[in-house]
Amino acid sequence: MNNTMLLDCTLRDGGYINDWKFGHDNLVSIFERLVDANLDIIEIGFLDERRPFDIDRSIMPDTDSVEKIYGMLDRKRTMVVGMIDYGTCGTEHIKPCEESFLDGIRVIFKKHLREQAFAFCKELKDKGYKVFAQLVSVTSYDDDEMMDAIRLANEVDPYAVSMVDTYGLMHQNNLLHYFHLLDQHLHQEIGLGYHAHNNFQMGYANCIAMLNNRIERPMIVDGSIYGMGKSAGNAPLELIAMYMNNALGKHYHVSQILEAVDANISQFYRPATWGYNMFYYIAASNDCHPEYVAHLMNKRTLSIKSINEILKKLQGEKKLLYDEEYIEELYVAYQKNEVNDEADRKRLGQVLAGQDILLIGPGMTVKTQRERIEEHIREHAPIVISINYVPEGIKPDYIFLSNAKRYVQLATRLSQEKYALIATSNVTGTNDEAFDYVFNFSTLMDPEAKIVDNSLVMLLKALVSVGCKKVTLAGFDGYSAETSNYYNVEMEYDFAKNMAAYLNDYTSGFLAQLRGKMEVVFLTDSRYRQ
């Protein structure tokens, strides 16, 4: 199988982990080890006119910069290529191949840009480069679109066309479907490549499935050292090299790749960490852009079940083209989960009528100003309502649940200790009788706010709606960007620190609007202004 080739993309795809700042010594060392490992093709980084030259980085504005970093190195028989994300580096920054250290250029592009991108590939080919057309998110192509891409490729005759599994969605059945479609219809001299991502841990297995096909055209598989790469990472280069040595009679020096893992790559793993994890699995299992998962998980209000249910509502092209407004609309629509709460409002109003009510939040003052809280409870015997948690050492009469994720974490304890529960309709109980009172989420949320489901604001709205005229607050400290905002650090939200000033101003503004409807008394210190 002398027509099979192994391409390393560590210095390009791995750069997403460290902003391409490997350091000059590492760039040189990695390149030389890959050459000594007998790699067929080495991708030395991105060409991107928007980035200034930095001798420590493998993202470069032009081909002259490639020369400055790698020009003195001995490539031996290895093909050296760079990559351009179509639209980020014009041909005016690309010298003719005979004046460049590069032998080839890989061009990545989304399917809606394929016509313009193939025209750009032709311009690079005319400059003498071996050109690789990289079909981004190949699983988004239907057969007609793929046949159109093949038509465009046959007009240009690039060195290779590669299937890029951008979001790691491929299993062997759809990989081989695209593989055979391309193999049957591309001009015979055009190579066929595959670039894996490891969301489903299928990168290595898919490379083997492709390499086991006996075809006449050149066949190229990508890997990166230790799987270093964007999101879930890539197929590990050392594993593919080992397989190709054993099964295909290749002669890659795997020990050199392992030396690179130890000496050059492991230092980047600890701070960043790439590879298979639940986050990228969720994205791949829903055939969607990972940013959708990030947006929903960063809410810290949703169970994994709920996240999956929202992601299944993504439609068409939107699934892989991230749209923040679109996913926020789906989130809000999902949370509403309309119920008829009239009876529950009436019942709760009767229970709370004329009572002293103490709301307990999770701020640090629950611990640092505990004596104030305990004294208030002894003197006033209030009805205690905590929000989305069970406070340590204080037994609440009710727990208000507006956060589905927190409910899942508390569910076992709640069922064992038998608290009375007031929930918003977005929280799904473990059975039909899980909650004592359920309030419509849609009537308590604020669609105009940056955080539509502020739990304190929602509870105060609920209490106003049932006729409560006064509440006392403890443990609602407001937010700080510098210090911990929760007495239990595991409850901390990263976004809360980033939005501390906004959250304080928003809540203070809401409390000001309550004047005349409800008296709010702070028992413990708070940043919220009234």
Token pair 């027509």 is found at 3
Q: Rounded to 5 degrees, what angle do the CA atoms 140, 146, 151 make?
A: 150
d(CA 393, CA 411): 19
d(CA 59, CA 52): 9
Radius of gyration of the chain (CA): 29
CA 37 vs CA 220, 247, 505: distances in Å: 17, 17, 59
Query: Phi-psi region for residue 142, left (φ > 0), alpha (ψ -120 to 50) or beta?
Result: beta
The two tokens of residue 326 are: 């679109």
Q: Rounded to 5 degrees, what angle do the CA atoms 165, 78, 101 make?
A: 95
- Helix and strand numbers, DSSP H then E, in the chain: 23, 16
Q: For the CA atoms of 143, 145, 151, 155, what is the dihedral angle to 10 degrees?
A: -150
Are 404 and 302 in contact by the 8 Å Cβ rule? The answer is yes
Q: Rounded to 5 degrees, what angle do the CA atoms 16, 116, 20 make?
A: 15
In the Cβ-directed half-sphere of 390, how many Cα atoms lie within 13 Å?
17
Are 18 and 56 in contact by the 8 Å Cβ rule? The answer is no
Question: Where are the strands (E) in 218-309, listed by range?
Answer: 219-223
- Rounded to 5 degrees, φ, ψ at 188 are -65, -30
d(CA 372, CA 367): 10
CA 259 vs CA 22, 50, 219, 401, 407: distances in Å: 16, 33, 27, 53, 47
Of residues 136, 26, 130, 35, the one with CA closest to residue 76: 35
Of residues 450, 401, 166, 169, the one with CA closest to residue 298: 450
Of residues 462, 463, 491, 461, the one with CA closest to residue 475: 491
Are 215 and 242 in contact by the 8 Å Cβ rule? The answer is no
In the Cβ-directed half-sphere of 87, how many Cα atoms lie within 13 Å?
8
Question: Where are the strands (E) in 346-461, listed by range?
Answer: 357-360, 383-387, 398-401, 420-424, 437-439
- Any idea how long the chain is? 530
d(CA 403, CA 387): 9
Strand, helix or coil at 276? coil
Pairing of β 160-164 and β 130-135: parallel
> Averaged in consecutive runs of 10 residues, what is the pLDDT profile of the chain (530 residues)?
89 96 94 96 98 97 97 95 98 98 98 97 98 97 97 98 95 96 97 95 95 95 95 93 95 92 87 78 88 86 81 92 93 81 94 95 92 95 94 93 82 80 82 78 86 91 95 92 73 71 91 92 86
Are 358 and 377 in contact by the 8 Å Cβ rule? The answer is yes
Segment 413-417 long-range contacts (CB within 8 Å, at least 24 positions apart): 414/390, 417/390
Strand, helix or coil at 8? strand
d(CA 479, CA 362): 11
Q: What is the pLDDT of residue 432?
A: 47
Q: What is the pLDDT of residue 344?
A: 94
The Cβ of residue 515 has, within 10 Å, a number of other Cβ atoms equal to 10
- Rounded to 5 degrees, φ, ψ at 291 are -65, -30
